[in-house]
Amino acid sequence: MTPQGAGDREAAPQSAKGTMPVGEGVEGTPELFTPDRFKGQNVLITGAAQGIGQAVANRIAHENGSVFLVDRSELVHQVAADLAEVTSGTVGSATADLETWEGAEAMVAAAVEKLGSVDVAINNVGGTIWAKPYEHYTPEEIEKEVRRSLFTTLWSVRAELPALIDNGGGTIVNVSSVATRGVNRVPYAASKGGVNALVSALALEAAPKNVRVVATAPGGTLAPERKVQRGPGPEGEQEKEWYQQIVDQTVDSSLFKRYGTLDEQAAPIVFLASKEASYITGSVLPVAGGDQG
C-alpha cells in the first residue's frame, strides 16, 4: 500500500484576518474515556495520523480496543507505536491510497491479517482541498475533490463490508461534514452529501446482515497545524478572502459561535462505534454546535 489520501475534517484554516486559534494535540490520556469499552473489539481507523482520526484512535486505545491505523503518511506508524503502550489490545498500522479500490482492499486485508477480524470500521479520510466559488474550480480540481472526499469512503466501505459480514456483523462509522450547506466548497459538499446518502442506503441493505452504518457530520474543528497538507494554501488576497468566508460562515452557523475541539468530535464517533449505540443505524449526527448542515 502506498501513501495518499487521508485527512481530518475542517481544521481551523489560515485566513485573510490571520490564523484561527489552534487546538492542542491528542497525545496523552483523553480527559474523558470509558475504561474497557472496546476491550475485545477490533477497530480499523482511517486518516489516523493526525486530527480527528488520531483523536479517535487515542480514545479507543485508552478504552483497550485493538486498533489498526491507516493513513497516507508514514507518521501513522509512530502514532501506532505510541498507542501500543496504552492499550491491552493489539495495534497495527499501514499506509494506503484510499482513493483507489486496490488501496482499500489491501488495507482491509492487512487489518484482518494483523487483528484476526474487524468489528468496527471508522472512515475518516477526506477534507476540502480548495476554497473558492464553484465557477472558479477547474474540472481537474472537481475530480480531485470528489476522489478525496467521496471515493475514499466508497472504496473503504466496499472493502470493509465483506469482512464485517464474515465476522457475523459489525459497525461502519463514516465521518461526513455539515459543509453540505457551506460556501466556497461545492465539490466537497457534494462529496459529503454522497457520504450521507451512502449511510442511509447501505443501512437498509446491511441491517439484515447485522451491520450498522452511521456517520457524524463535524463542523469546524480546532486542530494542531497539519503535518501533511491537503493541498495548496490560499494564495493572493482573493483566495484569502474566499477562505475567510468559510471561516466566518462556520463560526456564524454555530450556536456557540466557535469551532469545536478534537475531543468534541472524537467522543460522538467513538460512541456510535461502540455497543452502546447498538440500536442506531442509518443516522448522520451533526456535531457542529447546533449547525445542522
Task: Summarize pLDDT for 55-68 with one digit per residue, the tens.
Answer: 999 999 999 999 99
> What domains lie within the chain, and their CATH numbers?
14-287 (3.40.50.720)
Cross-strand pairs, 70 = 46, 94
Pick the catalytic residue from 137, 188, 243, 259.
188
Q: 188 an active-site residue?
A: yes
The pLDDT of residue 94 is above 60: yes
Q: What's the pLDDT tens digit per position in 109-156? A: 999 999 999 999 999 999 999 999 999 999 999 999 999 999 999 999
pLDDT at 32: 76
Range with the poorest average pLDDT among 87-91, 235-239, 285-289: 235-239
Looking at residue 235, its pLDDT comes to 81
- Read off the pLDDT band of 20 (50, 70, 90): very low
Q: What per-residue confidence (pLDDT) applies to 30? A: 81
Regarding pTM above 0.95, the answer is no
pLDDT for position 3: 33
Q: Can you read off the three cell numbers belonging to residue 98?
A: 484510499
Answer whether residue 4 shows pLDDT above 80: no
Cα distances from 201 to residues 81, 115, 151, 196, 207, in angstroms, run: 37, 29, 16, 9, 11
What are the tens digits of pLDDT across the range 263-276?
Answer: 999 999 999 999 99
Instruction: Give me 120's grid cell.
Output: 468496527
The β-bridge partners of 91 are: 67
Whether the pLDDT of residue 227 is over 90: the answer is no
